[in-house]
Structure 1
Amino acid sequence: MAFVVGYGVAILGAIFAYLLSENKSKKSKYIIWGIALMVAISPFLSFAVGLTYASLVENGWAILGIFSILFPIGFVSGLIMLLKGIFKKEKAEEHL
């Protein structure tokens, strides 16, 4: 049942990021989703997927294999989103 906790935290992290980024600028959305992906979604989701796969194939080492593949992909994706949000320039609003 540990994988349920992993999936639950990942889903709660995504919901929390969605609620925080609602009605924000694109720059803020990139920053919020980048942090959420690096801290809440990627580690817990990769752990839960690894644990689910390991229980299916009945091999404990499968957790390490899946985790070591999925976590860096998710973390780097979150880091790219965060950096894109930090260095993105806001467009000046044009008034008619």
Structure 2
Amino acid sequence: MAFVVGYGIAIFGALVAYILSENKSKKRKYIVWGITLMVAISPFLSFAIGLTFAFVSENGWVIPGTIIILFPIGFIIGLTMLLVGIFKKKRTDEPI
């Protein structure tokens, strides 16, 4: 049942990020999605996937391995998106 909480928080974080980035510039969207991916989606989704995989394989030792592999990948992708959003130059012809 704990994996449902992990999936729920990840989905809720994605919905909040979608609402916050709706009708915003690309720069703002990169920043919002980068922060959301690092804080809400990546840790909880890696935890939930680890628990699901452990339940299916009936081996509790796959949880740390799955989290150790998935969390840094998601965090680095989120950090990259955040940095792209911070350092992206705003075009003059781009709508606000």
TM interval, shorter chain, is over 0.9
1:77 equivalent in structure 2: 77
Which entry has the higher C-alpha Rg, 1 or 2?
1
Aligned residue pairs, count:
94
TM-score for both structures, normalised by structure 1? 0.96
Residue 29 of structure 1 and its aligned partner are, at CA, apart by: 0.1
Q: Residue 4 of structure 2 corresponds to which residue in structure 1?
A: 4
Q: Distance in 2 between matches of 1:60 and 1:77?
A: 27
Q: Which runs of 5+ in 2 are unaligned?
A: none
State the one-letter code of the partner of 1:24: K
Runs of 4+ residues over 3 Å off in structure 1 = none
Normalised to the residue count of structure 2, the TM-score between the two structures is 0.96
Cα deviation for residue 61 of structure 1 reads: 1.0
CA RMSD of superposed structures (Å): 1.0
How far apart, in 1, do the equivalents of 2:29 and 2:46 lie? 23
Q: Using the aligned pairs only, state the percent identity.
A: 72
